[in-house]
Amino acid sequence: MSIDDRRETHADEHLATLLTQAAHQFGQLARDELQTARAEFARNRRTLGFGGGLIGGAGVLAFVAVQAVAAAVIAALALAMPVWLAALIVGVAAGLTAAVLALVGKKQVGRVVPVVEETVDSVKADVAVIKEGGR
């Protein structure tokens, strides 16, 4: 085996080692970015859950409002006055409550940024470092 052959073999081994290390580092980088994204989603989950709960509550009360208004119409047709007036007041009150809950819930859900900004920024920084290292 000549000196040139040994140099070539050594260079091939060195390249293989570098490629293995790079693959390992890219894998670790991907795992780290995934962990960052999970942490960001966990922070947003509570706010989304609360806002979603308010919207769900608004839906339940809206259903009650429809039932109360329907009862008011039935009562108005069946009797002459007092029962439908009471049912109408309850229906309007439930409808207004549902509207308030829906608006508060929408505002709460709107506060959450759907994109995981920290993760996006981190990945952009990683790409910039990789581009600089390639030059």
Chunked in runs of 10, what are the mean pLDDT values of the chain (135 residues)?
59 72 78 81 78 90 86 74 74 85 90 71 76 66
What was the pLDDT predicted at 81? 65
What was the pLDDT predicted at 32? 81
What was the pLDDT predicted at 103? 92
* Separation of alpha carbons 59 and 65, rounded Å: 10
User: Could you tell me which residues come within 8 angstroms of residue 43 by beta carbon, excluding any fewer than 6 positions away?
Assistant: none
Q: Is the dihedral of CA 21, 23, 26, 32 positive or negative?
A: negative
Place of tokens 């085996």: 1
* Separation of alpha carbons 53 and 46, rounded Å: 11
Q: Give the chain's domain count.
A: 1
Give residue 57's domain range. Answer: 3-133
What was the pLDDT predicted at 2? 59
What was the pLDDT predicted at 132? 76
What was the pLDDT predicted at 114? 66
* Separation of alpha carbons 7 and 3, rounded Å: 6
